[in-house]
Structure formats: C-alpha cells, structure tokens
Amino acid sequence: MPSAVSVSDEVRAAVAARRPVVALETTIITHGLPRPRNVSAARDAEALLREAGVVPATVGVVDGRPTVGLSAGEIDRLGAADDVHKIGTRDLPVAMAQGWSGGTTVSATAVLAHRAGVGVFATGGLGGVHRGAATTFDESADLVALAGVPILVVSAGVKSILDVGATLERLETLQVTVLGYRTTTFPGFYVRDSGFPIADRVGTPGEVAAVVRARDALGLRSAVLLANPVSEADELDDDLHRAVLDGALADAEAAGVRGKDTTPHLLDHLHRASEGRSLEVNLALYRANVALGGAVARELSALDDGREVRQ
C-alpha cells in the first residue's frame, strides 16, 4: 500500500543518511502572512537552510496529498490560492479524502514531519491557549500535538494575543519540555519577554541537541519546545505592541470571530494596525528560528555520526 504521506526524494535521502533536515509549516504562508511576503518568506527560509547545509522540508497538503518536502512550484501555488485551507491534525483525513490543498498548522506539520523521520521543525509562533479559554475552551491543537510527537520545535514563544500564562501551564501538564534559548523568560513573539519565567535555559545548539537525545534515550514521546526570543533590534516597540494588541482583541470580539479563523484574524489586524511593523517583526523572528533550527539539526546529525560540528 502506498504511504499516506508523500516525502520528496531529497528529504527521504537526507533522513536516511542522517543529514540535517528542518521541517517548515505552511499555515504561516497560507493564513499567517500577507501576499506576496508569504511566498518570499517561505523561499527565504528554504534558502537560509540550504546555505547552512541543511535540507528544508516544507510541509503542506497538495490536492489531498500530505507532503513533506514541497517543491517550489507547490509552495507558490499554496501561497497564491484563494480557496486554500488551514489544515490542523484533525483536518488531515478530510483533506485527503476530499482532495483539499492547504497549509498545515504546527500540529499537522509536527505529525507529518515526524512520520517522515524529520526531527527538527522551525516555526514563527506556536498556537496556545486563547484569552477567554475558560469559557470558550479555545486552545490550539498545537499543544496537544506537541504532547504526543517527539520532535524539536523552535518558536519565538507564543503571541501576546494568547493567554501566555495558561499556555505555559498547559505545556507543563502535557509534558512538553520547554527550553529558553539564552533566556530565562518566555518570549512573547513580537517582544522578547512575555513576563513569564522559564526554568530551563540553554546557551548553544549543542546543549539543545543533548536534551533532545536524552529525551529520545528515555523513549519519551513528547516534543521539546525551544523558545527563541526575537532579537532586541527587531522586537516591537512596547507601547505600539500594547495599543495594537488591545485593538486586535476588541476587533475580533466585536466581529464575533470564532474557532480556526481567530488566529488569522488577529494576525491580520495586528499587521494592519501596526502599519506593517508587526509583519517585519514576524518575518525577522521567523528567519532567526529557522537559522537556529538549522544549527540544532546540524548538531543532532553530528551526534548521530559521533563527530563534532563547527557552527
């Protein structure tokens, strides 16, 4: 029986040879970033990895085929299509049966990348517990996916549009290992510091790789989340951040936005209300996360080979 997941030859060969590979999601392209920056961000991320000697594995669904290692043409297509779906893990069976094309969220990307043997995944920001979740129950499936998929996810924390404290509590409950990259506070996506502490700090890609391999040695099935704060030079101005955030939340409430539309709606509002500033921050932190993911993937590959790597 053919596999349900199609894996590009390049990714398959790299995984088999234990060369470094980093998975990338596509909801960021289809629903997170405006055109045409969405496709250029996806291309830049792939180029950045290749320059570092890492194979990119962009994940998405094309005509009902979950794919790990989309071609440039497929990425262009997802980035330009109007009727493109946002596909979480629970949507995958429907997407396959009904021939959808769409961007995969962190949850679906983690599941598919792991299925293809890819151990590292870089994204912008993880989904989390939405504000008001005590009554709406709106909590991203990303969290539950991380509980059951042994992968490393690099993220700039979670967005301040979410309930950051509740998200951290859920990550603990779900047994997700959370590492702060050169920080002891959880990043707030657009800003370096969400105000919430993280217990465990790591200082180098090698230290991250050691935690990942210890997790594997134990046979734990949960993800390691590497929280990488946006650089000081790139973070959003504090006052602007507060102002546009309050506006975005009020706007979503007034518009009655619910369910899977919530995150794209809030992001779009932020990008417009900040006159593109939040978009630049989003792109900068995404590049930084991709680069860090590449560095950790190289360390993991070197550990597997028993050699040392020069970053």
Q: Is 300 in the site for ligand PSU (CB under 6 A)?
A: no
To the nearest whole angstrom, how small is the minimum distance from the Cβ of residue 220 to ligand PSU?
22
The interface with ligand PSU within residues 232-251 (CB under 6 A) comprises none
Q: Which does 28 bind (CB under 5 to 8 A by kind): ligand PSU, Mn ion, none?
A: ligand PSU
Catalytic residue status for 46: no
Residue with tokens 């050699």: 307
Q: Which stretch binds ligand PSU (CB under 6 A): 21-29, 224-232, 236-244, 287-295?
A: 21-29
Would you list the DSSP string of the chain? Answer: ---SSEE-HHHHHHHHTT--EEEE-SHIIIIIS-TTHHHHHHHHHHHHHHHTT-EEEEEEEETTEEEES--HHHHHHHHH-SS-EEE-GGGHHHHHHHT--EEE-HHHHHHHHHHTT--EEE-S-B--BBTTHHHH--B-HHHHHHHH---EEEE-BB-TTB-HHHHHHHHHHTT-EEEEES-SB--BTTBS--S-B-S-EE-SHHHHHHHHHHHHHHT--S-EEEE-PPPTTTSPPHHHHHHHHHHHHHHHHHHT--GGGHHHHHHHHHHHHTTTHHHHHHHHHHHHHHHHHHHHHHHHHHHHHT-----
List the catalytic residue out of 46, 74, 139, 159: 159
To the nearest whole angstrom, how small is the minimum distance from the Cβ of residue 165 to Mn ion?
18
How many residues of this chain bind ligand PSU (CB under 6 A)?
Answer: 16
List 148's β-bridge partners, or say none. none
Residue from 67, 101, 183, 263 that binds ligand PSU (CB under 6 A)? 263
Q: Is 138 in the site for Mn ion (CB under 5 A)?
A: yes
Q: Which stretch binds ligand PSU (CB under 6 A): 8-16, 23-31, 76-84, 204-212?
A: 23-31
In angstroms, the CA 241 to CA 108 distance is 29
The interface with ligand PSU within residues 110-149 (CB under 6 A) comprises 124-125, 127, 140-142
Q: Which does 124 bind (CB under 5 to 8 A by kind): Mn ion, ligand PSU, none?
A: ligand PSU
**Binding-residue pattern over the window 195 to 234 for ligand PSU, x denoting contact by CB under 6 A:** ----------------------------------------
Catalytic residue status for 172: no
Q: Which is nearer to ligand PSU, 25 or 46 (CB)?
A: 25
Q: Which stretch binds ligand PSU (CB under 6 A): 15-23, 25-33, 72-80, 196-204?
A: 25-33
Q: Is 87 in the site for ligand PSU (CB under 6 A)?
A: no
Q: Which does 127 bind (CB under 5 to 8 A by kind): ligand PSU, Mn ion, none?
A: ligand PSU
In angstroms, the CA 40 to CA 1 distance is 36
Q: Is 27 in the site for ligand PSU (CB under 6 A)?
A: yes
To the nearest whole angstrom, how small is the minimum distance from the Cβ of residue 89 to Mn ion?
12
Q: Please, which residues have CB within 8 angstroms of residue 24's CB and are 6 or more apart in sequence?
A: 42, 45, 46, 56, 57, 58, 59, 109, 121, 122, 123, 290
Residue from 23, 106, 112, 122 that binds ligand PSU (CB under 6 A)? 106
Q: Which stretch binds Mn ion (CB under 5 A): 53-61, 92-100, 134-142, 236-244?
A: 134-142
Q: With 0-12 CB in 10 A as exposed, 13-18 as middle and 19+ as buried, what is 154? A: buried
Active-site residue numbers?
A: 25, 159
Contacts with ligand PSU by CB under 6 A lie at 25, 27-28, 31-32, 105-106, 124-125, 127, 140-142, 260, 263, 282
Contacts with Mn ion by CB under 5 A lie at 138
